[in-house]
Amino acid sequence: MSASLQSTLKGFCNNRVWRSIFRRAPARTNRTRSIAIFGNLFLHALPVKVREKSLRVRATYYLGSFSFFLFVVLTLTGIMLMFYYHPAAPKAYNDMKDLRFVVSEGIFLRNLHRLAAQAMVLAVFWHMFHVFYRGGYKPPHEFNWVIGVVLLLLTLFLSYTGYLLPWDQLAFWAITVGTNIISYIPILGKPTRFLLLGGHEIGENALLRFFVLHCVILPLAMIVLIALHFWRIQKDGGLTIRESDERK
């Protein structure tokens, strides 16, 4: 780097605006690097240091990170789709068709959302199997395992509520069958189905309710639990390291 560029960069970082945003000088030692992580709202839940073994591909296959990446993709594409989608019958179906054939890049965003959703279900299951076979549910990780199970259920609920939104025949009958399965629950089944659908049959109320669940309630629950899940990895002492890993 030429001397003039370096001095320009230094001048860029060395003014009131920069220092008002970034409270510290660049971290150059282990201590200041740690403090930079601890003192950052977004990073403080993450560990400052990790064992080298838990960074190996074989330790996680990055399945949890991949699930989270897909969740971010789904959030972004979902927000984009909401700009053209009305949760009303029969408008919802026409909006879905418009997204496919009229809106610029609509088909790309819709397919990305749909494929990422299917990939996320696969990734979360795969992540779960991998953690299970490594014994990641054992103490001190039991509570984080339970959070993970709830996250799996939320992923499935998100997948299921999203299934109704295109308002086509496939969606209609899938939700008919699914909500009838719910009504087989003893005592609570029929009231639960009534509350979920906002009626006795699948109509406008059901579409709107599934939309609110899919776009607001379930994603918020998901974000809170994902944050808790990441934070607990660090608090429980990092990833599970097996004895066979240690010997190598």
CB of 224 to another protein, least distance (A): 19
In angstroms, the CA 56 to CA 134 distance is: 14
Binding mask 190-229 for another protein (x = CB under 8 A): ----xx--xxxx-xxx------------------------
Q: Which of residues 13-42 bind another protein (CB under 8 A)?
A: none
Applying CB under 8 A, which of residues 72, 107, 181, 224 lies at the interface with another protein? 181
Applying CB under 8 A, which of residues 79, 180, 237, 242 lies at the interface with another protein? 180
Whichever of 60 and 179 has its CB closer to another protein, that residue is 179
Four-CA torsion 37, 240, 146, 62, nearest 10 degrees: 70
Where does the chain have alpha helices with state H? 3-13, 16-21, 30-38, 57-60, 63-82, 91-101, 106-133, 142-164, 169-182, 189-197, 204-212, 218-235, 243-247
Looking at residue 240, the DSSP 8-state letter turns out to be: -
Residue 208: strand, helix, or coil: helix
Q: Kindly state whether residue 79 participates in binding another protein, applying the rule CB under 8 A.
A: no
Whichever of 3 and 177 has its CB closer to another protein, that residue is 177
Would you tell me which residues interact with another protein (CB under 8 A)? 173, 176-177, 179-181, 194-195, 198-201, 203-205
